[in-house]
Amino acid sequence: MKLLRIKIGRPQQLAALLLLFFLAECLWVVNRQQLSQQDYRYAECGREMWERPSPLAGYFTTCGNLNGDGTFAYRVAGFPLTMQRLAMLGGDKLRKPENRLYAEGTLHGSMWEARHELFSVKYLLHLPFVFFATWLGGGLWWVSRRLFGNEGGFFALGLYCFCPAVVRSAVMPNNDVLAMWGLYGLVYAAMGVAHAIQGPRSKWKPRIALMTIALGLTAAAHLLAAMIGFVLAVLWMMYLAERRRSYVMQILVFSAVGALAILFGFYAFRLAPFSYVFTGGGARFWFALDGARRFFLNMANGPIAVATLVALLLYVSVRRCRYFGNTAPLVMVLLLLPLVTTQTVSKPWLWALPFLFTFVGGVFADALETQQRKLFLGLSGAILLTQAMLCLALLPEIAR
């Protein structure tokens, strides 16, 4: 069976099954959640971005100019509510004037005022973020499978789907899950561009456009993630382009300009709030291992910590494990884990997780090709099974 030149075989079906399980985990949590003050803030400010300018002169929304805080999550949270509002207004206009529910043709502007008029608000707010997390899982499997084969791809995807930190970030409005999604896509899109420029020019434009969109959306989620992704894109493209390095800077300049245009669009093409991207301090950072320490010392992530330790030992001791496919995600992990933001409350260590799972999946795939295949096959199965049991046991706590 083929769809748009994509072959859908047994590996794709099994990956889809894992992603459906991840989706079921997230839906189970969302179903048991209660709307919080933070949810209403994202909803109200997101709706204002889509529906009308702020009534406060000089400010983008009633939330202010969101100094350092990306607009992407607000727009993602507000978009389904705005679409529902427009659908309700459109349906109301089909009624006779005397039977219309909204005589003035508008719904209330405030999310608090509209809470009795809009319905399924909890799902409309949370499910878009679940969608992006599921999308990232699909991208993680696709990258890992192309690099390391089916076994490496499934091991990486399994760790992702049963990671409590990933599930927790997917079931609430936040910019971190979007920055994680954008950064991973940006880095591997840049590698794809570097490979594409070795071939015919007809294959350049789609990948360059994809990298530009990834850079712009990552910047809209978190400026620091976009800056890190751009710097690493320069390094990886220069390394992979070989005799075509003269094209790299031209492509990167084009992508940077396009990304700025996308980011400008997120601010409704208004210069005043857009200027705070450069003055708000969203990219300020320092170094600390508190986030990484909490993640790896948490018993819920014990199997992931064991897999990481085994992968590091193999990477250091086995020469066949030290190649670009494993080294690139490891460098990303080592760069992101010690970062902390000083102007905004965000989790750079979370952005590192897809790269960590890619690295672990790659090393374990190499180990499965050695004479100790049965040993590592049993270890891989035990790690995934234990991690899955721990994740499922923690779902009620995540739902609180």
pLDDT tens digits for 362-380? Answer: 999 999 999 999 999 999 9
Amino acid at the residue 323: Y
Residue with tokens 């192309």: 146
Q: Is residue 2 part of a domain?
A: no
Highest mean pLDDT among 147-156, 263-272, 283-292: 147-156
What mean pLDDT is predicted for residues 16-20?
A: 97
Question: How many CB atoms are closer than 10 A to CB 158?
Answer: 24
Q: Is residue 6 part of a domain?
A: no
Contacts of 32 (CB under 8 A, 6+ apart): 396, 399
- On average, the pLDDT of the chain sits at 89
pLDDT number for residue 55 = 56
pLDDT number for residue 54 = 58
170 in the same domain as 145: yes
194 in the same domain as 138: yes
Q: Is residue 4 part of a domain?
A: no
Condensed to tens digits (0 to 9), the pLDDT of residues 324-365 reads: 999 999 999 999 999 999 888 899 999 999 999 999 999 999
331 in the same domain as 386: yes
Q: Pick the range with the lowest mean pLDDT from 65-69, 100-104, 246-250, 340-344.
A: 100-104
Kindly tell me the burial class for residue 131, based on how many C-beta atoms sit within 10 Å of its own C-beta (0-12, 13-18, 19 or more): middle
Among 72, 97, 122, residue at a domain's last position: 122
Q: Taking Cα atoms as reference points, which of 176, 146, 207 lies closest to residue 358? A: 146
pTM metric for this prediction: 0.93
Backbone angles phi, psi at 7, to 5 degrees: -80, 125
pLDDT number for residue 203 = 82
| pLDDT at residue 109 greater than cutoff 50 | no
Residues in the chain: 400
Q: Is residue 1 part of a domain?
A: no
Condensed to tens digits (0 to 9), the pLDDT of residues 27-47 reads: 999 999 999 999 988 988 898
Q: Sign of dihedral through CA atoms 37, 39, 43, 46?
A: positive
234 in the same domain as 115: no
pLDDT bucket at 140, cuts 50 / 70 / 90: very high
Condensed to tens digits (0 to 9), the pLDDT of residues 210-226 reads: 999 999 999 999 999 99
Encode 241-279: b = buried (16+ Cβ within 10 Å), e = exposed. Answer: beeeeeebeebbeebbebbeebbbebbeeeeebbebbee
Q: Is residue 376 part of a domain?
A: yes
Contact 344, 283 (CB under 8 A): no
Backbone angles phi, psi at 63, to 5 degrees: -80, -5
Tokens representing residue 244 in the block:
């075509």
Condensed to tens digits (0 to 9), the pLDDT of residues 48-94 reads: 889 876 555 567 777 766 656 789 999 999 999 988 888 877 776 77
132 in the same domain as 111: no
27 in the same domain as 152: yes
One DSSP character per residue, 200-255 reads -GGGHHHHHHHHHHHHHHHHHH-HHHHHHHHHHHHHHHHHHHGGGGGGHHHHHHHH
133 in the same domain as 114: no
Angle at 27 between CA 25 and CA 28, to 5 degrees: 65
Tokens representing residue 123 in the block:
């799902």
Q: Sign of dihedral through CA atoms 136, 336, 167, 363?
A: positive
pLDDT bucket at 98, cuts 50 / 70 / 90: low
Domain that holds residue 222: 12-34+123-398
Among 122, 154, 181, residue at a domain's last position: 122
Q: Sign of dihedral through CA atoms 237, 241, 246, 252?
A: negative
Among 122, 145, 163, residue at a domain's last position: 122
Q: Is residue 387 part of a domain?
A: yes
**How many domains does the chain contain in total?**
2
